[in-house]
Amino acid sequence: MKARNWSAKKSQRICLAMWVFCLCLPLTQSLVDKGDVCFDPRKYNCTYGYTPKIWLWLKPIAFFFMALAPGITIASTSLLLLRKAAKVARETLRWQGMLTVLVTSGVY
């Protein structure tokens, strides 16, 4: 499915899903223990303490969604794209494009 075929409503829903996904860790941190979040105006940095015991099982879940899920998504969509390109192009497939996709997904 191409992005230009998406309706405005579908595009807005996708953007909303991305915003909600990006807010997961900061919102969870604030809901669990507001006193554990410290802001340093000198470095303009927000640090988290992770002291409550609930973080023993919340940290692996947050790690999966913030670190592993995007990597798995990039790798799987790249492989699906390469598979589709190989079916469509058959003999006229440009290997430079295939290698670009593989290197880009591998570096990510």
Q: What is the pLDDT of residue 3?
A: 59
Q: What is the pLDDT of residue 4?
A: 66
pLDDT > 90: percent of the chain: 0
Question: Are the beta carbons of 46 and 39 closer than 8 angstroms?
Answer: yes
Buried-exposed string 1-31: b where 16+ CB fall within 10 A, e elsewhere:
eeeeeeeeeeeeeeeeeeeeeeeebeeebee
Residue 45 has pLDDT above 70, yes or no: yes
